[in-house]
Amino acid sequence: MAKENVRITVFDTTLRDGEQSPGCSMNYQEKLRVAHQLDRLGVDVIEAGFPIASDGDFEAVKAIAVVIRRPIIAGLARACHTDIQRAWDALKDAARPRIHVFLATSDIHLKYKLRITREECLAQARESVAFAKSLCDDVEFSPEDATRTDPDFLCQVLEAVVEAGATTLNIPDTVGYTVPTEFGELIVTIRRRVKGIEKVTISAHCHNDLGMAVANTMAAISAGARQVECTINGIGERAGNASLEEIVMAMRVRYDRYPYETAVAAEHLFPASQLLSEITGVAVQPNKAITGRNAFAHEAGIHQDGVLKNPLTYEIMTPQSVGVPDSKLVLGKHSGRHALAIRCEQLGYQFDRRALDDIYRRFVRLADKIKHVEDHHLLELIRETHKPSTSATPLFEPLAVAAAAGVPAQESVRPFPMAPKANAFGLPLSISPEHHHDQEDYLWGV
């Protein structure tokens, strides 16, 4: 009998925790635009905001709850009647509402922030979840700063809220303090010790202060968590949250290690990233995994040579699989002859080996000065290096001329790289002999 695939619930908090990132606040209309994109993306839960925070946030959550009907719509509330009622007022028209209640449980938060005892915390958690449950069937509880909370007390609080009616227990690494093995062990401890845990969903919410939010989230999944809380582009408080796109693609690419599935339509990841950047004005860092502009860009000669021959040499997923139009080869000082020759052909020129060597030497000197060589730089270099009027036998000829002489022409110029015969990546399946230049393109390695 075939084993049933394990489904991971994707809880997107871009509109709540993500919006708390400095410079990333959104107005009513902007939140609606992002919510529609998240719906297209296929997330299971959209945390639309913190209704008690402002009238604007309340109205945005209320509008999203009315308009977006497929996913669960969640609203955040502190563990008090006023917050919970406000959240419910914003959510009550949703097709699938969820009240998300949180209360700090670590001793440092209890002592310095809340100024209450453990006993008072336990009673407040139990009572607030019971009140939320009286309004809404779907209640999530988060013990804030769980990873710095005494494990015995944490399990005590979690057991109390399960008894009070919580349906999801979210375990937040609020300050990005934990590490993967430790967080996985915590999830295992909770599963083993909390009475009634089999009736609820365990969730992970990780921050990136030590750069391990995604790794910690993946460790939690392996340990038994079945909901992940994350944001587009990993935006969020301080160093941000676990990145939705990285979590989803880690499971897709490494299904051998993470045999789990989500409902996310991965081809909408890049459009979602671009929309969020447009709305917030906060650019994605170039080397960001999956959605950064360099994620599918190659400059090193060895990499370019490999990608032109078979993209799988240096790309573990296709750019199209995440909604990126195509790979990009960047001409710079690390580029090799292979990439340079392909780009020259796209611009309408073919060279014999001696001419290409000449062009290549001048190209490297130019790239040392200006970093990235654009098409107009390359054309100028070609004109300066080889002038047909001064040579009895031109060392290059435009492709159009070759076609007029009866030589089959390459197809018209396309975004670099170009391939007469392309595979699923839109890149060559085979490379003609003149593009193999021994080991010269292997100068620049990993």
pLDDT < 70 positions in the chain: 1-3, 297-305, 307-308, 325-331, 346-347, 371, 386-446
Where along the chain do its domains lie?
6-280, 297-442
Q: 351, 340, 306, 347: which is closest to 442 by C-alpha?
A: 306
Question: What are the distances in angstroms from CA 56 to CA 13, 46, 62, 137?
Answer: 17, 17, 10, 26
pLDDT in the model for residue 402: 40
Which uninterrupted H or E stretch holds 203?
strand 201-206
Taking only the tens place, the pLDDT of each residue in 182-241 is 999 999 999 999 999 999 999 999 999 999 999 999 999 999 999 999 999 999 999 999
Token pair belonging to 114: 């809340």
The residues, ordered by sequence, that sit 6+ positions from 394 with a Cβ below 8 Å of its Cβ are: 386, 388
pLDDT in the model for residue 347: 66
Token pair belonging to 26: 């959104």
Please tell me whether the peptide bond between 420 and the residue prior to it is cis, using omega within 30 degrees of 0. no
Question: In this structure, is the dihedral angle defined by the CA atoms of residues 68, 73, 75 and 76, taken in order, positive or negative?
Answer: negative
pLDDT in the model for residue 307: 62
Question: What are the distances in angstroms from CA 386 to CA 218, 355, 379?
Answer: 56, 8, 11
Residues forming beta bridges with residue 171, ordered by sequence position: 204
The residues, ordered by sequence, that sit 6+ positions from 180 with a Cβ below 8 Å of its Cβ are: 212, 215, 216, 218, 219
At 428, the amino acid letter reads P
The residues, ordered by sequence, that sit 6+ positions from 422 with a Cβ below 8 Å of its Cβ are: 428, 429
Helix (H, G, I), strand (E, B) or coil at 297: strand
pLDDT in the model for residue 443: 36
DSSP classification of residue 405 = T
Q: 315, 337, 324: which is closest to 245 by C-alpha?
A: 324
Taking only the tens place, the pLDDT of each residue in 234-264 is 999 999 999 999 999 999 999 999 999 999 9
Distance CA 229, CA 292 (A): 21
pTM: 0.78
Instruction: Quickly count: other Cβ atoms within 10 Å of residue 210's Cβ.
Output: 15
Distance CA 362, CA 72 (A): 59
Q: Among all chains, which residue has been given the structure tokens 């009140």?
A: 131
What is the topology classification, in CATH, of domain 6-280? TIM Barrel (3.20.20)
Instruction: Quickly count: other Cβ atoms within 10 Å of residue 57's Cβ.
Output: 26
- Determine contact, residues 442/305, Cβ cutoff 8 Å: yes
Distance CA 137, CA 97 (A): 8
Distance CA 350, CA 359 (A): 12
Distance CA 81, CA 366 (A): 67
